[in-house]
Structure 1
Amino acid sequence: MDILISGAGVAGPSLALWLNRYGHRTTIVERAPALREGGYAVDFRGEPHLTVLREMGVLDAVERARTNMGAMWNVNAAGRKLAAMPADLFAGDVEILRGDLARILHDATRTDTEYVFDDSVTSIDQDPDGVTVGFERAARRRFDLVVGADGLHSTVRSLAFGPESPYLKYLGLHCAVFTTDNYLGLDHTGHAYTTPGRMVALYSARENTEAKAVFWFGSPVLDYDRRDVGRQRELLAAAYEGVGWEAGELIRRMWRAEDFYFDSISQVRMESWSRGRVVLLGDAAACPSPLSGMGTGLAVVSAYVLAGELAAAPDHRTAFAAYEREVRDYAEGCRRSAEGVAGFMVPENRFMAWFVNQNHRLLPYLPWKGLMAKSARKTASAIGLKDYTGFEVTRPGGPAPRRRPSGRAS
């Protein structure tokens, strides 16, 4: 089949890699003019995540690009270290910058997938035999299927399912991230400063050659144009007016950052992920929010299942239904893992900020110090992977040793 995928982040190229192996022809359209190199660190944990990456043939590249981060330190306004957050709480089995992961996936698919940058889907017209798709720049084209892998504010979802408001649940926070100099000289670590309703952090990246500035703050739902980056910068600057530690310096650096990202912390909740010949994947279908730490792993696992079911099923309707049956409970578990996390990351008042810092200080001495990491790994591992290897037609890059996925067999 000819399959259009909207979104060149993580979910889209992951799906394209598998679809290519099953003999389909894939096109990825991406609104950005080039591959998005920015973003925060993401992680994979548990055997299902690692198995899928291994089967994709990208695990070695991911491990070579891993952040190798140590503990994240909570600091006071003067920069004095108060308590360490162990790396296994937030870095999983392997942690990588989102931009580095996107590049690896692009490199693994660019030979067999047509990439169309600086364009976006504007219309989707379905009929019994296929989908006619309109674009902002390119001429209308015909596809057998369309996949929305275009994130929290999915254009494909809006066109096929209607406005996003019924599907998004705001969790009370906004976040921002950008790249800057590692001017604090951080060595595979980060510093985070928390005040009521605000958290700002700086952590080293790419072997300490740069740093990522991250902001999380509580607020009502903010009304702004998601394409108006200037307005987004103004909102962040206003939210951190008078906040101590390095917040003022980081806001000054924000104005010249080239990879500034700003959005709400929200989840996507939908009763169905497909409509006709259109199907949603990753954050477009079931964003668990960054608070869960599961979104990237969920995306690559979901891509594996969707492509496998399309290869195994007699038609797309059967495949889409099977994809949802396999993934929905897993996605729900990832979503639930984010519940209650907002108040712990960004305390609402001084007492809660003190309480959270005390917990961080005591964590290394408490008997349940490993329970949070174990709980996250349990959530990430709560899916059995079916074996679709018998349906492969070609393997980009040449044959590779295959390993039967762990879990439930087909």
Structure 2
Amino acid sequence: MSPEVTEPPVVLFVDDEPSILSSLRRLFRPQGYRVLLADGGKAALAMLETERVDLIVSDMRMPEMDGAVLLEKVRERWPEVVRILLTGYADIGSTVAAINRGQIHRYIAKPWDDRDLLMCVQDGLERRRLEQENRSLLALTRVQNDELQALNSDLASRVKARTSELEQVNAMLETSFAQLHENFLLSINVFSGLIELRGGGMAGYSREVADLARRTARRLKLGAAMEQDIYIAGLLHEVGKIGFPDTMLRKPLSAMSSDELALYRRYPLNGEAALLPLGQLQRVARLVRAHHERIDGKGYPDALSGDEVPLGAQVLSVACDYYAAQAGRLSLKRYSAAEAHSLVIGGTGARYEASVVEAFELALKDEPSEKPHDRALQAHEVMPGMVLSRDLLSPQGTLLLAAGYVFDARVVRQLREFSGREGVKLNIFVKLPDIHEGGAT
């Protein structure tokens, strides 16, 4: 019996500049994809009528039909197609519109980084594959449930066998949903690094805020769901700054003009607006909006006071203030860790409730989690089958691969090419059992 032949993924690129289309074709053909090209929105829609397409990447600025309109039409007629937008920072308003109307899965800033774009497309195709598997498994579960209902009461053995099969299917579903959730969190980590790429000298800031906020929430015993919401809010709390001028991103709060302060005070509202369209981030959006509120009523944007200020927002505020003081974001002076700690303590009863500050102090004293039993390797030493034990970051601090990733031959090759091309040393931590048990063979 001959093995099943799997058709390669089909990726459609849309841009009105032939040179960009040629560049994208050269980049993606070696990856094993079937690459389709269209020079505008009308041509892309006509191609979708006759071709099977798994993922579409469209430029934002095009004559006759821009990328936002095109992806909205694609969502209406071919909702299963993964949608990615190429856009410049000057198009942030149009990008938000595309997120709202076209429900795009990701957007990539131009000029793009080849590796980031390759990983973005790979992630989108993987998510589409998992969604298709989930639909198939759900359909299979419904069929099996119908069969179970049709069985006679005297066929106990068959019922038991079918029940066992259903348990296996449910386990597969849980695994698939867990993978989707992991990919969702990975996407959030990648997205949180975009604003840091513009700011200069801020790499890793959002992850530090998110981690401290989560530990503080754990000390308050707010529950696993709230801990995760607070952690995600920490990663995304600055998304509303994405439209700020570069000079303003690097300017401390005390040095801003009145006009800049007015714009700055609106970024929590912009952040909420950017996150609200995503159903899973509704609670996160509210925390982002309220993380500059104070219990004495002197915060913004809504001047909430007392119990009106969500406890989760206070937890996020404590972590933000602590790291912002040390990063020189509040004033021209960069506070030491001890001075930043004193600054937070001084806000008790005015900025934050005493219980939040107490939990913050305990979180600072928490012992770091036990380090994984792993080993640091360079790119040329990594082999297929090895398992990443810690997040792999670029020299700029952006997330490249998440802990737990199992290396395959393609990614190993890309890591080696990236390290050689850029001339950088990447400390790649892998789990030792995979080395000892033959993961490098």
For Structure 1 versus Structure 2, the TM-score category normalised by the shorter chain is under 0.3
Bigger share in strand: 1
Bigger share in helix: 2
Name the larger-Rg structure: 2
TM-score by length of 2: 0.24
TM-score by length of 1: 0.25
Q: Which has the higher contact order (CA 8 A, sep 6+)?
A: 1
